[in-house]
Structure 1
């Protein structure tokens, strides 16, 4: 009696079923996250390369593949530093003000981003829970004087030194400007999930360009991001 040989299941690529090749999809996603472009701008630039695709498809690519690329790169990410600068900035989503909680370390690495409809204790707690999942715990955290921060830090980082002096948080406030510059060309975000995807994707691109990932390390600095996306396309 001959036994039937069982072949291991090879997981399908996330690009399976799409009409366009991975190179075209990741190019569109990379352009959108990196530059101050609208979806229609990306549509036009792709058309100049002979890739005819509707801007709605570009939107869907960004929303689907950005989290996959970020997750695939997780193992290549450097551990954050031990001094964190945390603050909130705000944008309009569906006509309502929405908060972006963001933190960077002393080396300029964006640790995490959280889009939240509220600026309260629950949102601050949720943000720090996400940020601490990246590994290293800080010895010093600088925040503004929002009332929620002392309580959350006492709960989750009781040993860390908390700084809330005036002007001490200028580092993260200046960094907000890069995210705001990316959001400015948009005609308004419609959903909180879309805001979270774009905020996280922008932070990821910023970190890759600053050398906080072991991706594209053999490429010239101005080509590092393109090389990183090419590597990640093979992983998903």
Structure 2
């Protein structure tokens, strides 16, 4: 749990985690750390799902990029008006099918938004008409600054990785980063009695018992 938490929380490489663990007398290969992150991150997210607070009703949706095996892929992301990351989807394509898949996933988390702000990609109006016909769609220029500025934190986390090998890894890491970000921002009923600086640590301790 310590290795996974460090990796998702800080801009560290797998080799950095290997070295930090060695300083604590724990000899673990960086490949093992990678396997831990891929294995336990989805389990932690699933275990924490009942503790997640209801999202807001105004969503800001946009795509950013990550490099996977030398190629750029898209990361669809949505945040609400309170800064909660609703969901993340890694996709090789930026098209109607990817947008539909993203919104279908995001809507499975609970509240349906009354307003959705996106960029001016042609796929969004079609998907919103299909899945959220009652929601107001905003695509004015600069209206999506909230999620665009939020991308910078994910990009800062991805930078030390120097590219990912598989789309699945991009999905796991970006979802795990969003998960930790949401804990830090108080969007889970986890670690609520802990000092804010220790909230993520306390949350992972609680979740370790659940998985």
TM-score band, normalised by shorter chain: over 0.9
* 1:67 corresponds to: 42
The structure 1 residue matched to 2:95, chosen from 120, 139, 148, is 120
Which residue pairs with 1:226 in the alignment? 201
Q: TM-score, length-normalised on structure 2? A: 1.00
How far apart, in 2, do the equivalents of 1:73 and 1:42 lie?
A: 24
What secondary structure is seen at the aligned counterpart in 2 of 1:122? helix
In structure 2, C-alpha distance between the alignment counterparts of 1:84 and 1:95, rounded to whole Å: 31
Identify unmatched segments of 5+ residues in structure 1: 1-25
Which structure carries more helix by proportion?
Answer: 2
**Structure 1 residue 177 corresponds to structure 2 residue 186:** no
TM-score when normalising by structure 1: 0.89
Unaligned residue ranges in structure 2 (runs of 5+):
none
Q: After the TM superposition, which segments of 4 or more aligned residues of structure 1 sit over 3 Å from their partners?
A: none
Which residues of 2 match residues 49-128 of structure 1 at below 5 A? 49-128=24-103
Once residues 149 and 75 of structure 1 are traced to their aligned partners in structure 2, the CA distance between those partners, rounded to angstroms, is 29
Which whole-Å CA distance do the structure 2 matches of 1:184 and 1:221 have between them?
A: 26
- Cα deviation for residue 187 of structure 1 reads 2.4
* Cα separation, 1, equivalents of 2:203 and 2:209: 10
Specify the structure having the higher radius of gyration (Cα): 1
**Partner Cα separation in structure 2 for residue 84 and residue 193 of structure 1:** 25
Matched, 1:138 2:103: no
- Do the aligned residues in 1 keep the contact of 2:66 with 2:170 (CA within 8 Å)? no
Q: Secondary structure of the equivalent of 1:114?
A: strand
Residue aligned with 1:79, SS: coil
Mapped to 2, the partners of 1:211 and 1:97 lie a distance apart of: 32
Q: Could you say what secondary structure the match of 1:73 adopts?
A: helix
Partner of 1:15: none
Deviation per CA, 1:146-180, whole angstroms, max 9, x where unpaired?
00000000000000000000000000000000000
Q: How many correspondences in the alignment?
A: 211
Partner of 1:18: none
Question: What's the counterpart of residue 22 of structure 1?
Answer: none
Shift of 1:92: 1.0
Deviation at 1:91, TM superposition (A): 1.2
> Could you tell me how far apart the structure 1 residues matched to 2:4 and 2:97 are?
32
* Structure 1 residue 31: Cα displacement: 0.1
1:189 aligns with 2:164: yes
Aligned residue for 1:40?
15
